[in-house]
Structure 1
Amino acid sequence: MRRWIPCLLLAVLAGAGAHGADWKRGIEHQRIADRGDGTYLNPVLAGDHPDPSVLRVGRDYYLTLSSFDAYPGLPLWHSRDLVNWQPIGHAIDTNVGAIWAPDLVRHDGRYYIYFPARTGQRRSNYVVWADAIEGPWSEPVDLGLEGYIDPGHAVGEDGKRYLFLSGGDYVQLSDDGLRVAGQPRHVYDGWRYPQDWDVEAYAQEGPKIAFRDGWYYMVTAVGGTAGPPTGHMVIAARSRSIHGPWQNAPGNPIVRTASRDEPWWSRGHATLVEDIAGRWWMLYHGYENGYWTLGRQALLEPVEWTPDGWFAAAGGDLGAPLPKPAGEAVPHGLTLSDDFRGGRLGPQWAFHDPAPGEARRLAFGDGVMSMQGKGRTPRDSSPLTVIATDPAYRFEVEMEIEPGAQGGVLLFYSERLYAGVGSNGEQFVMHRYGEERPAALAPSRTGGRLWMRVSNDRHILTVHTSSDGETWEKYPVQMEVSGYHHNVAGRFLALRPALYAAGDGRVHFRRFRYQALD
C-alpha cells in the first residue's frame, strides 16, 4: 500500500498512532433526555430538529419537523411520554425544495402534513397525506399559496378546515384538505415587543392552533429564528371563534431567551399539546448556547394554566432537570453508526438537495455501501449526511476508491460551506470554507483503500487517516468551524457529518461509526 501524501504540503503525515487506542469501538452514546429518575433534561431531541410539530393520538404522540434540503424529508417520530422518541420513517421522497415549518395533523382518521417549500425564488405550500402514520404517504400536492410560510391547520366552530399562515392571514380549505377554497384573509395583527429588545426582525410566523374550554389559542413565533440569541420568542392569542377577533395574552411573550447567558438561545416556534394526565406542554426549538452549528434542537417545557384561562411557561431557563410528562417510555433515539448491512439506506442518512433518482447511485451488499460518483467536488455531489447530536463527537469510515473516483469525509453545512478531507486513492484534497486545496485532483488510474476519522471537538476539526484501520496519522491541517452556521451562511441548516463520492467511478464505504466525546 502506498504512503498517503497530502497534496497541500507534500510531506509525510505526522502523528502516527494518534487517537487509535482511545476509540471506543462498538458502543455509540449520544445525549438522552430521560434521566431515569422521573425527570428529563433538555433537549428531548438533540441536534438539528427545528420547528417541531407534535400530534397526540390517544396514548401516542407523533412528531415531524423541518428537513430543509435533506431528503428523504419530513422525518416522523413516535413517543409515549414526549421525552423518549423513536423514528418511524419519512413522509416525503420527492424533492420539492427546502422544507420549512410543517404542521402534522389528523382529521377524520387521516394524517396530513402541511408545509412550505422553496425552490430557487419560488415558495409555495404543500400537503402530503396518509391513512396510517407509517405510510405510505402521498406525493406532495401544491396548494398554490405562494408568498406564505408555516401553515397551521385548524377546524373552526363551523366544521370547516382552515390554514393559518405567516403574517396573520388564514384561508379556508376544501373538505378533503387538499385544495384552497377561497382567498387568504387577514385575521391577526400579532403582538409587538419593546423596540429596545435585541431581535432579528418582527417575522410573525409559525401559527399553531389549539382548542381548550371553548377558546381557540393561537401560538405564534415572532422576533426571527436566528440573529441575536435574544430574538426568537413565543406569543399567544385567543378567540371564541376561528375567525377572530384574536386577543393577545397579557403575559406575552410566553417564552423568550432574555439573556445570552442562558443555556438555550433563540427559543421559539411552539406547539401546545396535552398529555394523557391532562397536563399541558410546549414543544419548541432553540440553539444551544455557543453551538449554532448543531442547529435548532427540540425542547420540551411544561405549561401552567392561570385562573383567567391563559397559560404560562413553567420550565424556567431549561438548564435544570424537569419532572417528566405522564406516559411510558419507548426506546429513544436513532443510531447514527451504520454497518451497511440493512440492504438499503439507513434512516439516519439523507442526501443534500438530491436530484430525481438520486438513490440509484447507491448499491448495498456484504456490509458495503457503494456510491456512484457525482460532480467533481462536495458542492455538486449531493453528499450523504447525518444529524450530529453532540457538541463533541467523532466518526470514522473505511473507503475503497475506484479509479476515476474521489471520496471523502466532511462536516457539511451547504454546498457553499463545508470542511474535511477527500482523496482520489493516491492523493489528498483539503476542503475548507467550501473550497478545495488543491482546486482539483486529477483522476487516479489505480484508486486506493483507506480509513478516515473526523473529530469535531467543540468546533475544532481534526482528521486522521490510516492504511490499515489500526495505525493512524494526523492530517497536518486542523480547522475551526464555529462559524459554519446560519448567522454566517444563511439557509437555517446545521453542520452535519457527511460522506461524499465524486468523479466517474464508485466509492465503497464500510463500517461508519459515530461516537460522542466527553
Structure 2
Amino acid sequence: MKTRRDAMKFAAGVAAIPAVLPPNALALATATEANAACHADAPKWTGGIEGQRKADLGNGFYRNPVIAGDYPDPSVLKDGDDYYMTHSSFEASPGLLIWHSRDLVNWTPVGPALREPLGTVFAPDLVKHGDRYFIYIPFMRAPWSTGLASFANIYVIHAASIDGPWSDPIDLGIGGLIDPGHVVGEDGHRYLFLSAGKRVRLSADGVRTDGPVETVYDGWRYPDDWITEAYALEGPKLFRRGDYFYLVSAVGGTGGPATGHMIIASRSRSIHGPWEHCPHNPIQRTRSDAEMWWSRGHATCVEGTDGRWHMMYHGFENGYRSLGRQTLLEPIEWTAEGWFKATGGDLSRPLPKPAGRAGTHGFARSDDFAKSGLGTRWSLHGSAPAEAGRVSLGGGALTLAGKGTGPQDSSPLIQQVGDRAYDVSVEVELVGAATGGLLLFFNDRLFLGMGIDGQKMVTYRGGKPSYWAEPAPPLRRLFLRIVNDHQIVTFYYGTDGKAWIRHGVRNEVSGYNANTTDDLLSLRPALFATGGGSVRFRRFAYKARA
C-alpha cells in the first residue's frame, strides 16, 4: 500500500512549495496536486532520540503521529503560550503522564500526575480553572480491588502547579459513566459533560457535584448502513468561541472496523442547549481501510499561538494496530457560518507545522538505572497501591521483587514504544528463588518473550508458556534481546551482551492488538519477576530500526 511506504519521492514536491505559505497551504492546492500528494510515497519520519520517529520534519512541516505509540484519548490544555496534554494510562502506575509543548508537535514529559493506581484509568480531562489545574478521571474496577462499582466511577485530582504535587483522588460519586468533559457555562457554573449525552453541575471548587446527572444532548446519528463497532456516544470535549459553545464528541466505537470511530460536532448559544448538529458531520472519519490512519476519534480542539486551530485525537496505524492508538494532530479551518472543517485528509502526508517554538521531543527509552524512571520511562502494569516498593535501584541495577506465578500475574514493568521496528536488550540476574526475563507484553492474557529460572529458559507465546524447549545454558545471569522487525519478532540470548544466539522460534505479532483481546492496550517491552526472590536488571537498551 503506497501510503504506508517510507520512500523519499515526496521530497521534490515539498521543495516546490513556496517559501511563504498560507495557513492551509496543502489544503489549498489544486485537486490534482492534493491527490498526488496523498498517494505519493511519503518521506521517512525524522529520527529523534535513539532513532525514534519524530513528527517534526525540520522544514516547516510535520508528519503524524505527533506522539507515536499508545497515547490515546488526548486531553489538551492551552495555558498562555504553553500546551499541556495527558492521555489514558489504563493499568499503568504511576499514571497520567503530563506532556508539555510550545508548538503542538514537539512534546516533552513533565511527569505523572497519578502516583497510585485507581484501576483502569482512561479518557481524562485536563483543565485549568482560576489558578488551579484539574484532571477529571474515569476509572474501571482494578483487578486487585474489592467492593467497587463494576463499571466506572469519576474522580478528580487537582494541583496549584502543573508540576504538582497533585492531590489524592476525590470521588465525585458519579457511577456508570465515562469520559468527563469540563466546561464553564455562561451562567458561571462549572459542568461535567459525560458519555451518553449526560451532564452534571459541579461545585464552585470543582471537587463535588452540585445536582443530579441528567441527559442534555442527543448526538448526531450517522446512516445505519455505515460499518462501525457501535454507536457509543462518548468523549465530549467543550470549548467556547465567539457566541457559541462547541461540543465535540466521538461516535462509532473506538475499536472494531477501521471505518468505525469518528468525530462529530454540535453547538449552542447556551450551555443548556438546544444543540445544533454541524452540517459537516462527521468532522473526521476513516472512510476506507486503504487509509493510513484508522478509527480516528476523541478530539480536543485547540487554538494555536498564531490563531490557527487544530484537533488532537487518536487513531490506529494501518498495519500496526499492535502499537495502540497514537496521538494525531490535524488542522481545522473555520467557515463563514461559524462551523469548522478538518483539512488534513487521511493524514498520510506532511502538513504545515503550527506556529510556536520547537522544543526537545520525547525521551530516551534506554535505561542505565542510575535514577528512577517510574512514571515516564517505566510503569507497573496492573499493580496494587504501594506496590512501587517492589522496585529499587542500586549498583547500576534495577531490582524487581518477584510477584505471582508467571508474567500474567506479575505486574511487570512496562514502557511504551512507537516505532514500527525496534531492538531491546537487558541483562537479567536472578536473586533467590525467582524467575525473570524480557517480554513484549500486551496484557495478562497475551504476551511473548523469554524467562530464566536458573535451570532452563521458559519461552512464552500467545500469553502462556510454550512447548518449545530452547537449549539455553542453565545460568542465573543471562543477557536477553528481542527484535521486533515490522511485526516479525525474534528472540536472542547470550552470556556477555555481545555475541547473541538466535532463539529457535520467530513470531508474527500483528494479531497482538485490541480487536483480538477486547482490551485497548498495545504490545510493549516489559521486565518481569515472579516467585519468592527478585531479579536484577542492568543496561536496558532500546534502539529504533529502519
Query: Considering the TM-score relative to the shorter chain, is it more than 0.5?
Result: yes
- In the other structure, the counterpart of 1:81 is 103
The answer to whether the aligner puts 1:479 opposite 2:479 as a matched pair is no
Q: Which amino acid letter does the alignment assign opposite residue 223 of structure 2?
A: P
The answer to whether the aligner puts 1:302 opposite 2:331 as a matched pair is yes
| 1:57-72 alignment, distance < 5 Å | 57-72=79-94
CA distance in 1, matches of 2:239, 2:165: 27
How far off its partner does 1:432 sit? 1.0
Q: Which amino acid letter does the alignment assign opposite residue 56 of structure 1?
A: K
Structure 2 SS opposite 1:487: helix
**Bigger CA drift: 153-162 or 427-436?**
427-436
Q: 1:366 aligns with which of 383, 391, 395?
A: 395
Q: 1:352 aligns with which of 374, 381, 404?
A: 381
- In the other structure, the counterpart of 2:348 is 319
How far off its partner does 1:402 sit? 2.0
How far off its partner does 1:342 sit? 1.2
Paired residues of 2:49 and 2:362 also in contact (CA < 8 A): no
Q: Provide Cα deviations, 1:351-375, integer angstroms capped at 9, x if missing partner.
A: 0011122111112112111111111
- In the other structure, the counterpart of 2:113 is 91
**Bigger CA drift: 344-353 or 222-231?**
344-353
CA distance in 2, matches of 1:498, 1:397: 10
Q: Provide Cα deviations, 1:477-504, integer angstroms capped at 9, x if missing partner.
A: 1122111111010121111110101111
| 1:165-314 alignment, distance < 5 Å | 165-314=194-343
Q: Which amino acid letter does the alignment assign opposite residue 468 of structure 1?
A: D
The answer to whether the aligner puts 1:108 opposite 2:130 as a matched pair is yes
- Give the total of aligned pairs: 490
Q: 1:489 aligns with which of 493, 514, 517?
A: 517
- In the other structure, the counterpart of 1:452 is 480
CA distance in 1, matches of 2:417, 2:460: 19
Structure 1 SS opposite 2:118: coil
CA distance in 1, matches of 2:475, 2:156: 45
Paired residues of 2:180 and 2:193 also in contact (CA < 8 A): yes
How far off its partner does 1:101 sit? 0.5
**Bigger CA drift: 110-119 or 420-429?**
420-429
CA distance in 1, matches of 2:455, 2:499: 18
CA distance in 2, matches of 1:438, 1:410: 17
CA distance in 1, matches of 2:270, 2:278: 16
The answer to whether the aligner puts 1:41 opposite 2:63 as a matched pair is yes
CA distance in 2, matches of 1:362, 1:220: 40
Q: Which amino acid letter does the alignment assign opposite residue 509 of structure 1?
A: F
- In the other structure, the counterpart of 1:512 is 540
Paired residues of 1:387 and 1:497 also in contact (CA < 8 A): yes
How far off its partner does 1:174 sit? 0.5
Structure 2 SS opposite 1:500: strand
CA distance in 2, matches of 1:321, 1:362: 42
Paired residues of 2:283 and 2:342 also in contact (CA < 8 A): yes
Paired residues of 1:364 and 1:370 also in contact (CA < 8 A): yes
CA distance in 2, matches of 1:238, 1:440: 62
How far off its partner does 1:458 sit? 1.6
How far off its partner does 1:344 sit? 5.9
Paired residues of 1:401 and 1:447 also in contact (CA < 8 A): no
CA RMSD across the alignment: 1.7
CA distance in 2, matches of 1:269, 1:208: 8
The answer to whether the aligner puts 1:164 opposite 2:186 as a matched pair is no
Q: Provide Cα deviations, 1:74-116, integer angstroms capped at 9, x if missing partner.
A: 1100000000000000110221110110110000110000121
Q: Which runs of 4+ in 1 moved over 6 A?
A: none
Structure ranking higher in helix proportion: 2
Q: 2:458 aligns with which of 429, 433, 441?
A: 429
Paired residues of 2:380 and 2:411 also in contact (CA < 8 A): yes
Closer/same/farther in 2, CA of residues 346 and 217 from structure 1, 3 Å limit: closer
Structure 2 SS opposite 1:363: strand
Q: Which amino acid letter does the alignment assign opposite residue 516 of structure 2?
A: V
CA distance in 1, matches of 2:499, 2:86: 42
CA distance in 2, matches of 1:344, 1:278: 37
- In the other structure, the counterpart of 1:393 is 422
Q: Which amino acid letter does the alignment assign opposite residue 213 of structure 1?
A: G
Q: Provide Cα deviations, 1:12-44, integer angstroms capped at 9, x if missing partner.
A: xxxxxxxxxxxxxx9711010000001100000
Paired residues of 2:330 and 2:344 also in contact (CA < 8 A): yes
- In the other structure, the counterpart of 2:176 is 147
Structure 1 SS opposite 2:418: coil
CA distance in 1, matches of 2:177, 2:259: 25
CA distance in 1, matches of 2:373, 2:262: 40
Structure 2 SS opposite 1:379: helix
TM-score calculated relative to the size of structure 2: 0.88
Q: Which amino acid letter does the alignment assign opposite residue 226 of structure 1?
A: G
**Bigger CA drift: 159-168 or 365-374?**
365-374
- In the other structure, the counterpart of 1:21 is none
CA distance in 2, matches of 1:124, 1:403: 41
Paired residues of 1:403 and 1:447 also in contact (CA < 8 A): no
The answer to whether the aligner puts 1:135 opposite 2:164 as a matched pair is yes
Q: Provide Cα deviations, 1:194-215, integer angstroms capped at 9, x if missing partner.
A: 1111100000000000110110
Q: Which amino acid letter does the alignment assign opposite residue 56 of structure 2?
A: D
Give the number of the structure with larger relative contact order, counting CA–CA contacts within 8 Å between residues 6 or more apart: 1
Q: 1:334 aligns with which of 341, 351, 363?
A: 363
CA distance in 2, matches of 1:485, 1:346: 23
CA distance in 2, matches of 1:91, 1:174: 22
Structure 2 SS opposite 1:145: strand
CA distance in 2, matches of 1:413, 1:505: 25
Q: Provide Cα deviations, 1:201-243, integer angstroms capped at 9, x if missing partner.
A: 0000000001101100000000000000000000000000001
- In the other structure, the counterpart of 1:20 is none
Closer/same/farther in 2, CA of residues 43 and 242 from structure 1, 3 Å limit: same
Q: Which amino acid letter does the alignment assign opposite residue 478 of structure 2?
A: L
Closer/same/farther in 2, CA of residues 344 and 315 from structure 1, 3 Å limit: closer
Paired residues of 1:404 and 1:447 also in contact (CA < 8 A): no
How far off its partner does 1:438 sit? 5.8
* Percent of paired sites with the same residue: 56
How far off its partner does 1:320 sit? 0.6
Closer/same/farther in 2, CA of residues 126 and 27 from structure 1, 3 Å limit: closer
CA distance in 2, matches of 1:439, 1:112: 50
Q: 1:462 aligns with which of 480, 490, 515?
A: 490
Q: 1:501 aligns with which of 503, 518, 529?
A: 529
Where structure 1 has 5 or more consecutive residues not aligned to the other structure, the ranges are 1-25
